[in-house]
Amino acid sequence: MPQGQPENVPDDGLTTRQRRNRPLVLVHTGTGKGKSTAAFGLALRAWTQGWPIGVFQFVKSAKWKVGEEQALKTLGASGEGGSVAWHKMGEGWSWVQRDSQLSNEEAAREGWEQVKRDLAAETHKLYVLDEFAYPLHWGWVDTAEVIEVLRTRPGTQHVVITGRNAPPELMDFADLVTEMTKVKHPMDAGQKGQRGIEW
């Protein structure tokens, strides 16, 4: 994307610098591909800036996104850029006892509780809440509470939320919303997902 100039300057009493460093909430939604992929691509930029990155995967299966996981963990361990903490709901969140049997709904809520704790402690500078739109859409996690927590989060912490069916209230609140629209997909022509492309 070419460097953009703001179309108008808001009357919000902030300097350009303050506005520039404003913590952002980004939402990637829609039925097309690229929602999570673009979020992990953003993490590459954050890593280069040396930012601590927290990834929370709100999905059941651990099969998906192994490519991104391995690559970002390798970057995090390289000692050159930012750190990478990778949390997965699919295998049970690491901070939850193994023998506790959480339902998916409970597990999603538990993930959100950890995000809240990390936001309060300013643990990361970029949060990737991957597929978090689903538990919001299903009502497992309260959207109004999420918005309130995000609105009052301390410091400069950027948050990217991905997933289909992001709640309208969340999109209203977010600073940047991108909808990925499927124009054409090989599965329409009977092709199954393939390694290296789909995961």
* Among 55, 108, 119, 126, interactor with its own copies by CB under 8 A: 126
- Closer residue to its own copies (CB): 68 or 118: 68
Residue 55 contacts residue 61 (beta carbons within 8 Å):
no
Q: Smaller CB distance to its own copies: residue 100 or 156?
A: 156
Min separation Cβ 76 and its own copies, Å: 11
- Interacting residues with its own copies between 85 and 114 (CB under 8 A): none
Say how many residues make up the chain.
199
Return the residue of 83, 110, 142, 179 that touches its own copies, per CB under 8 A.
Answer: 179
Which one, 22 or 117, has the nearer CB to its own copies?
Answer: 22
DSSP-derived pairing of the beta strands 53-57 and 25-29: unpaired
How many whole angstroms separate alpha carbon 180 and alpha carbon 32?
5
Residues 6+ positions from 33 with CB-CB distance below 8 Å: 180, 182, 185
Ramachandran bin of 55, using left for φ above 0, alpha for ψ from -120 to 50, beta for the remaining angles: beta
Which one of residues 8, 15, 97, 152 is an interface residue with its own copies (CB under 8 A)?
8
Pick one of 54, 55, 57, 75: the residue that binds its own copies (CB under 8 A). Answer: 75
Size of the site for its own copies (CB under 8 A): 83
* Nearest CA among 45, 42, 61 for reference residue 176: 42
Tell the smallest beta-carbon distance from residue 124 to its own copies (Å). Answer: 12
Question: 80-107 in b/e burial notation, b at 16+ Cβ within 10 A?
Answer: ebbbbbbbbbbebbeeeeeeeebebeeb
- Give the x/- contact pattern for its own copies in 18-57, rule: CB under 8 A: -xxxx-x-x-x-x-xxxxxxxxxxx-xxxxxx-x------
Q: Tokens at residue 8, please?
A: 């108008």
Instruction: List the interface residues with its own copies, window 159-178 (CB under 8 A).
Output: 171, 174-178
For the CB of residue 118, give the shortest distance to its own copies in the complex, in Å: 18
Select 102 or 171, whichever has its Cβ closest to its own copies.
171
